[in-house]
Amino acid sequence: MRKACLLIRTAVVLGCLLSAGAGARAEDCGNGVELTLTAPEAAQGTLLLAEIHSAKPLTEVSGRWNERDVPFWQDGTREHSASGPNTRKALLGVDLEKAAGKYEFTVASQIQGGERVSCGVRIEVKEGHFATENLTVKKQFVEPNPEQEARAEAETKRLREIYERVTPERLWDGPFRMPLDGEFKGSNFGKRRVLNGHPGSPHGGVDFPAPTGTPVHAAQRGRVVLAEELFFSGNTVLVDHGLGIYTFYCHFSEIDAKVGDEVVAGTVLGKVGATGRVTGPHLHWGLQVERARVNALEIVRVLGSGDAIFRK
């Protein structure tokens, strides 16, 4: 199928749609290199998977999206190498507030022997159509006193600094799973919120209402980079999965992890609770991919077992 994609231009669309899934888009970059995207368009808060396939071994692949470098990885090994299948993959996150419009994604690759091949595709970002909701929370979370405000600002800055760090190795090594066992449904991602009558920032995570004490599991292998109580998110754990991918879990009643822990998919990070700015016990699950705030269910859909359940 791949050969057909490369050799017969008119068969590219059909052949690559069949090989990469319905809605996928393929670009012939020349010199036996092809770029496929899971879809030619994406909504705010979603993920796209990009793949580079080459007839000859690749020694280097780099990309640009959202004014940032996009790290590529090779399945099968944690380290990039010139051997093995000539395929590299990357995730493109569309931030939940990225303005609707068309944006360029560019890729440059080096083929063994020295040839460089560059390629670009335009991706259409569409509105996420997020609902607005009115919530009532404790007054301190909407009108914090100067001390609380200074604390919240310092914590936001620290989180931003963590998210800016891109661990160059891929730490995850399999499908991403849901953080709760059982039939819990996630919702509320991207909702524009009005808190006690004041417009708030959009909701950057997925909420899973669940009884206090329900174990919360790491979605995949990674390293715990924060495990403490924060002003807005209460008891919080943040896991670095490498290549700019972070999952965030909060409002725990209890934290069962510490900074530096190496976790695997399923490791218990803590227990569901109602700490921080909440209206009741639930897990708030967040995902950032190269600084883009994305619906966490997307990583289960794109890199998981596909059992994510979507609800707005």
Which residues here bind Zn ion, judged by CB under 5 A? 205, 207, 284
State the residue number with the nearest CB to Zn ion: 284
What is the nearest approach in angstroms of Zn ion to the Cβ of residue 22? Answer: 32
Distance CA 201, CA 5 (A): 44
On whether the CB atoms of residues 301 and 175 are closer than 8 A, the answer is: no
One-letter amino acid for residue 267 of the chain: T
CA distance 222 to 130: 30
The phi, psi pair for 308, rounded to 5°, reads -65, 140
For the bound state, the minimum distance from the C-beta of residue 307 to Zn ion, rounded and expressed in Å, comes to 21
Q: Is the dihedral angle over the CA atoms 18, 20, 21, 25 positive or is it negative?
A: negative
Nearer to Zn ion, 118 or 132 (CB): 132
CA 161, 165, 170, 171 dihedral sign is negative
Least separation in angstroms between CB 94 and Zn ion: 20
**Residue 191 or 221 with smaller CB distance to Zn ion:** 191
The CB-of-286 to Zn ion minimum distance in angstroms stands at 8
State the minimum distance, in angstroms, from the CB of residue 179 to Zn ion.
Answer: 13
Q: Distances in Å between the alpha carbon of 135 and those of 83, 192, 205, 274, 285?
A: 54, 11, 16, 15, 19
CB of 205 to Zn ion, least distance (A): 5
Nearer to Zn ion, 11 or 195 (CB): 195
CB 232 within 8 A of CB 152: yes
Taking the least distance from each CB to Zn ion, the nearer of 58 and 287 is 287
- The Cα 73–Cα 65 span in angstroms is 16
CB nearer Zn ion, residue 205 or residue 222: 205
* Nearest C-alpha neighbor of 96 from the set 194, 176, 206, 226: 206
CB nearer Zn ion, residue 130 or residue 172? 130
What tokens were used for 189?
Answer: 């991602």
- Smaller CB distance to Zn ion: residue 112 or 253? 253
For residue 23, the minimal CB distance to Zn ion (Å) is: 30
